[in-house]
Structure 1
Amino acid sequence: MTLHLVKLCVGVESVDQLRGYIEQRQILALSQGLSAEQIHTTRMVPTRIDELLDGGSLYWVIKGNVQVRQKLIDIRVHKDDAGKKSCDLVMEPFLHQTHFQPRRPFQGWRYLKASDAPLDVGGPMLDGDQLAEMPEGMRRELQELCLI
């Protein structure tokens, strides 16, 4: 059964800013002859790795709302010299915008059941391209008014 992670995107103000960071990291990695993999390192290691890699994504909370997700490709567990574990969350470098889902601040990451995950932008309400092109502030207001 598919399982997801949700994490705060600390220091990021918008989806466009996150997209810019991803692009910058890819350009830098390629210019140095490194892999362009999109990696986020976290100190805590998930225990449900098989479920996460069965189609799971990392959902990013930006400005108090889940707004975007990245599909998980791999989870690589590491141990330092002191035996302390950490892991690399390897993700697609593409962002999939989701409908806003409010989240209170929390530390680290949390599991997110597939049934509780926000839907990707698109679907019966508006065409996905229309919503993706809509200014973020306008989209937030329309969702708060339950119009989309």
Structure 2
Amino acid sequence: MSRRKIPTAIQEQVRQRAKELCEYCHASERWQYVRFNIEHIIPRDRGGTDDLENLALACFHCNRRKSNKISAIDPESGVEVSLFNPRENLWSEHFVWSKDGLYIQALTTTGFVTIEVLSLNRDRAIAIRAADREIGRHPPSNDPIATK
């Protein structure tokens, strides 16, 4: 499948809507060396479109780990569960920050499988969150969950 370029204006709308945070791990694009990806929530190869409502801002790591997945098997129940969908789900209903603010904890099965599949608590993410917390950048002041 050929890759179509998402228009710059749409990309900027996605970034503004996400307040420049990865919509999965809530890393801030502002402090990164490279811009985050515009991610298809429902991948094109599964019928997803380039419409604004099917696009999310994702850091490189979350985008790469999500790939074309939209669900995963919950290891506890053996049931297939949808991954977190930033257009249909509220982050704060599926995730919460640990008391020290370093780990994303699941509140739901959707949250659990998303944390596992996207490796939201990977070592590098924890190290970045800890360093950012030390200088007052974590959690980000523009974190949408603080306003929902």
Query: How high is the TM-score relative to the length of structure 2?
Result: 0.24
Give 1 or 2: higher helix fraction: 2
Give 1 or 2: higher strand fraction: 1
Structure of greater relative contact order (alpha carbons < 8 Å, 6+ residues apart) = 1
Query: How high is the TM-score relative to the length of structure 1?
Result: 0.24
